[in-house]
Amino acid sequence: MSKIVTLQQSIMAEDERFAAAIRESNERRGLLMVNMIGSPGCGKTTILERTAQSSGLSFGVIEGDLATNRDAERLDRLGVPVVQVNTHGGCHLEANVIEKAMESLPLDSLDVLFVENVGNLVCPAEFDLGEDFKAALLSTPEGADKPLKYPYLFSSSKVVLLTKVDLLPYLPFDMKMFSEDVKKLNPEAPVIPMNGMTGEGVEEWTKLLREKIREKKAHAR
């Protein structure tokens, strides 16, 4: 196992230079960047669709998938500027690809740039893309035991979006354990319950984004 760790570290060192360059360029612009991380099908694209429909924010999206353009097409239909990155087997996005993708987006006219990472709770959490913060998404059917099983994502994110709360009546989801486990890993992170079908939670999510955007713009150089 030690061999693998060494290799990952050397990739990361290489990639940290790209992440630092992205961070600096976003700071100059006052552009907020959010790295959205969650399992396949947890609702990442749906939350972005709802955000497009009701937040009033101007945002762009970099979509990461192993294959297909389906998610990018969903956002494009709503008029969101979007770049699809297909990783062809790669389990996460890396900063060098993000830098390239950003060249195709109208960055100066955006309030926020979302990266929808590859559906995976593990590897995407470990790679810095130059973002301001990570948002961890968990859908209720995945189960309340996931924060402790994927601790790095939940401890390193600034907000936890609990999606598909409309399914709670049909699921053995222990909300008390979930909330306690998230608090143990990350006492500061708010948990926002969301329902992509009705738009529940989008208002709270938008409020959090507006605060972060304001802070970012205030510090633009």
How many C-beta neighbours within 10 Å does residue 148 have?
Answer: 15
| Piece of the chain touching a second copy by CB under 8 A; list 51-59, 75-83, 94-102, 187-195 | 94-102
Instruction: Name beta bridge partners: 134.
Output: 35
With DSSP H G I counted as helix, E B as strand and the rest as coil, what are the percentages for the chain, rounded to 5? 50, 20, 35
| Piece of the chain touching a second copy by CB under 8 A; list 16-24, 53-61, 166-174, 200-208 | 166-174
Shortest Cβ distance from residue 174 to a second copy (Å)? 12
**By CB under 8 A, how many residues form the interface with a second copy?**
45
Q: Which of these, 50, 57, 60, lies nearest to 195 by C-alpha position?
A: 50
Q: Return the number of the residue (42 or 112) whose C-beta is nearest a second copy.
A: 42
Binding to a second copy by residue 122, rule CB under 8 A?
A: yes
Radius of gyration of the chain (CA): 17
Instruction: Name beta bridge partners: 26.
Output: none
Binding to a second copy by residue 168, rule CB under 8 A?
A: no
How many C-beta neighbours within 10 Å does residue 13 have?
Answer: 9
Shortest Cβ distance from residue 121 to a second copy (Å)? 5
Q: Return the number of the residue (68 or 109) whose C-beta is nearest a second copy.
A: 68
φ, ψ for residue 155 (rounded to 5)? -80, -20
CB-based contacts of 214: which residues, under 8 Å, 6+ apart? Answer: none
Alpha helices in the chain (DSSP H): 2-29, 44-54, 70-76, 95-102, 123-126, 146-149, 151-156, 175-185, 202-218
| Piece of the chain touching a second copy by CB under 8 A; list 52-60, 76-84, 121-129, 203-211 | 121-129
Contact of 60 with 105, CB cutoff 8 Å: yes
| Piece of the chain touching a second copy by CB under 8 A; list 54-62, 128-136, 143-151, 208-216 | 143-151
Residue from 21, 30, 57, 91 in contact with a second copy (CB under 8 A): 91
Residue from 21, 66, 107, 175 in contact with a second copy (CB under 8 A): 66
Binding to a second copy by residue 118, rule CB under 8 A?
A: yes
Site residues (vs a second copy, CB under 8 A): 1, 3-4, 7, 11, 14, 39-42, 65-68, 70, 87, 89-91, 94, 96-97, 118-123, 126, 139, 141-143, 145-146, 148-152, 164, 166-167, 170-171
